[in-house]
Structure 1
Amino acid sequence: MKNSKLLTAFTSKTLQLKNHVVMAPMTRSRAFGNVPNDIMATYYTLRVEAGLIITEGVSPSKNGLGYPNIPAIYSEEQIVGWRKIARAVHEKGGKIFLQIMHTGRIAHELNLPQGGEIIGPSAIQAPGENYTIEGPKANGVPREMTKQDIEQTQNEYVQAAKNAITAGFDGIEIHAANGYLPNQFLDKGANQRKDEYGGSVENRCRFVLETTQKIANAIGAEKTGIRISPLGEFNGMVFYMEIYQTYNYLVERLNSLNLSYLHLAKMSDAVPDEYLEELATTFNGVVIFNGGYGYNLSKAEKILLKNDRYLVSIGSPFVSNPDLIKRIELEAELNEVDVNTLYTLGEEGYITYPTLEQCLK
């Protein structure tokens, strides 16, 4: 695919990238004690040929650490760890955004550090289980957030964004998808509040829009992206009558913020491509398409040819192929992902996948 648009440079008002390929954010659970470390720096620098790297989800507070061994960025030690990673990526010529992820009700008490608690828009337990040091456990019951909690959480997001810029990142992505805290506010199943943060479409979008605006004000809209998963039912999100109206309204309102990009995640084959493309045309800035495009390069090529504002993010193939860009260019065979080492501590299945050059020896 040497003449592929995927591999050509991309330029917009907010992004200047070496190609149209974005490494999608993927939880890998290597941050022992929630602190970024040296093998994480190695992991990201091995993938610097992506036009843009978006990190795994990074918690803005103790309350957002619902999974074991995921990183955070609220302490000085964590900022120092991330600074090493951002510097290492930049030294290799890469660009990297940090994704801010608060798990909200997708959490278990055993995974939270001392002082952390499970919170959500309503006291409604998420279905399913969470992996803990004691094995799989049902997700905990969240405490319904007060208005003071909402303001404090938004401030934590803002401080996390500031910390990311201090650590040297090119920008941040707000994770408002996949059933995590911002998505929980959008969802009628998880959010049954009776105040201005629940009920109507406008009210359920309020937390996401306010948080995004505050972050953009703090670090610059050009350094602020957001990821959403329209119609997605992952992590207990539900399909409801107003869901199309909700996402149409959300994207229309995001338009006025002049963000770096909108990241559209397709969480299942049941989500129509046509609807995501409709939302993309509604948005007036850069749009990153995710979900299926990385597995079907001809599909990725077609979406890129539709609009010069579009990028494609690729997930799992980047896990097992650190030199994925070269493999795309040469149409080379890809390493398969070892699902048994996706979330284990240590180097195995993280920085041990061979490059194409090593495979051919």
Structure 2
Amino acid sequence: MAPMTRSRAYGGLVSELTVRYYAQRASAGLIITEGTQPSVIGQGYLDTPGLHSAEQVAAWRKVTDAVHAEGGRIFVQIMHGGRVGHPVLYPDGALPMAPSAIASGERLYTPDGMLEHPTPREMTLDDIERTIDDHVASAHNAVEAGFDGVELHGANGYLIHQFLADGANLRTDGYGGPAENRIRFAVELVRAVGDAIGFHRLGIRLSPGNTANGITESDPAELYTTLARALAAYDLAYVHVMETGSRAVAPLIRAEWPGVLILNPHPSPPDAPVTPDAGARDLTEGLADAISLARYWLANPDLPARVRAGGPYNEADPATFYGGDHRGYTDYSTASESGHSPS
């Protein structure tokens, strides 16, 4: 089950509704949670959960206990928004921070209207060190909360991706310039978090060529080949590749990365959800060891049974993707509840 932000963590805390949502989907080979901020300044959107306080750890513990009681496994995705943030999200009204002082060009949704992302503050070396420490502390919290592991969010235009992408990273120190330097932050994070909780509990998500949140990459083939080669030095649980419009880079990562590769295949057409059949083809062809799906899991809590039966599948309702209550969250029916009986 791929990570999916649902914006229902009011006050930064997951709720009993969240417990039910993930427990319903415990038949996934692995659940990867929604993006979860490692610090206050790491928050990028309204009503997303954190994992940097004792209260948040206790709330997540209810989720992991429920998933484990159903026989499931669950990793938390640690996501720092970087420049994808806004002063209204932070108690002190601080600017978001990023590798370079370049605005995303995107906007933050609020109930009072859309707000332009401001130009972020360029991170100092002390900021970088502190941010790595925040990720390590959050990973320790994840273990305390009962998670089976952690996925670092290096995709979709958030902080790690901002360091990787030469359109967002114009630094002239050891964290900017050639690909070897731009991967440094990601590799240092991997090493620090892996040393803290064990590399077998750690994965990372990447999205080569993804233009989300204003990202541009002039050299995705070189960049991700270089990164995969560097990650090969660490015995990670997996590398998770999200394809966005092209198959050019995933095979290059596969060639350089010797461990488990999870693939979130690129959809065709681009705005359609990836189907289980498409994922099965990628497994058969050896491009990946596992396939992650998003919308199909959102709408089908019993997805493995439906896949085995060849469907039918519930359709996800985009109007309820973000925010709200149980509707479009925990009220999707299983096949048996709908009068079907997958075998």
Partners in 2 of 1:144 and 1:302 — Cα distance?
Answer: 43
Whether contact under 8 Å (1:120, 1:184) holds in the other structure is yes
Whether contact under 8 Å (2:221, 2:249) holds in the other structure is no
Partners in 2 of 1:67 and 1:328 — Cα distance?
Answer: 33
What corresponds to 2:321 in structure 1?
342
2:24 to 24, 28, 46: 46
What corresponds to 1:353 in structure 2?
332
State yes or no: 1:229 paired with 2:203. Answer: no
Whether contact under 8 Å (1:110, 1:133) holds in the other structure is no
Offset at 1:52?
A: 0.4
Offset at 1:122?
A: 0.7
- 3-state DSSP class of the match of 1:333? coil
What corresponds to 2:295 in structure 1?
316
State yes or no: 1:263 paired with 2:263. Answer: no
Matched ranges for 1:190-209 at <5 A:
190-209=168-187
Go from structure 1 to structure 2 and tell me whether the alpha carbon gap of 1:280 and 1:308 turns closer, same or farther (over 3 Å shift): closer
Partners in 2 of 1:277 and 1:296 — Cα distance?
Answer: 20
Amino acid at match of 1:339: P
What corresponds to 2:250 in structure 1?
276
State yes or no: 1:29 paired with 2:3. Answer: no
Partners in 2 of 1:114 and 1:343 — Cα distance?
Answer: 26
Offset at 1:308?
A: 9.2
Whether contact under 8 Å (1:45, 1:89) holds in the other structure is yes
What corresponds to 2:134 in structure 1?
156
Offset at 1:202?
A: 1.3
Whether contact under 8 Å (2:183, 2:227) holds in the other structure is yes
Segment drifting more, 108-117 vs 161-170:
108-117
Whether contact under 8 Å (1:66, 1:112) holds in the other structure is no
What does the per-residue CA deviation read over 1:125-175, in whole Å, with 9 as the maximum and x for residues that have no partner?
101212123221111221110100000000000111110011111000000
What corresponds to 2:77 in structure 1?
99
Aligned length: 335
Offset at 1:305?
A: 2.1
2:166 to 164, 170, 188: 188
What does the per-residue CA deviation read over 1:7-62, in whole Å, with 9 as the maximum and x for residues that have no partner?
xxxxxxxxxxxxxxxx0000000100011111001000000111000000000000
- 3-state DSSP class of the match of 2:34? strand
Offset at 1:320?
A: 1.1
- 3-state DSSP class of the match of 1:196? coil
Go from structure 1 to structure 2 and tell me whether the alpha carbon gap of 1:145 and 1:328 turns closer, same or farther (over 3 Å shift): same
Partners in 1 of 2:52 and 2:16 — Cα distance?
Answer: 19
Q: Which has the higher contact order (CA 8 A, sep 6+)?
A: 1
Offset at 1:296?
A: 3.0
Partners in 2 of 1:314 and 1:112 — Cα distance?
Answer: 32
RMSD: 1.5
Go from structure 1 to structure 2 and tell me whether the alpha carbon gap of 1:316 and 1:309 turns closer, same or farther (over 3 Å shift): closer
- 3-state DSSP class of the match of 1:351? coil
1:76 to 40, 54, 75: 54
- 3-state DSSP class of the match of 2:291? strand
What does the per-residue CA deviation read over 1:172-218, in whole Å, with 9 as the maximum and x for residues that have no partner?
00000000000000111111111111112111111000011000000
Task: Using structure 2 for the length normalisation, give the TM-score.
Answer: 0.94
Offset at 1:274?
A: 4.3
What corresponds to 1:16 in structure 2?
none
Partners in 1 of 2:8 and 2:176 — Cα distance?
Answer: 36
Amino acid at match of 2:24: L
Instruction: State the identity %.
Output: 40
Partners in 1 of 2:226 and 2:287 — Cα distance?
Answer: 24
Partners in 2 of 1:122 and 1:70 — Cα distance?
Answer: 24
Whether contact under 8 Å (2:265, 2:279) holds in the other structure is no
Unaligned runs of 5+ in 2: 268-272
Unaligned runs of 5+ in 1: 1-22
What corresponds to 1:251 in structure 2?
228
What does the per-residue CA deviation read over 1:237-259, in whole Å, with 9 as the maximum and x for residues that have no partner?
1131x332111100000000111
Amino acid at match of 1:290: N
Whether contact under 8 Å (1:32, 1:345) holds in the other structure is no
Offset at 1:336?
A: 1.2
Task: Using structure 1 for the length normalisation, give the TM-score.
Answer: 0.89
Whether contact under 8 Å (2:225, 2:253) holds in the other structure is yes
Partners in 2 of 1:333 and 1:113 — Cα distance?
Answer: 46
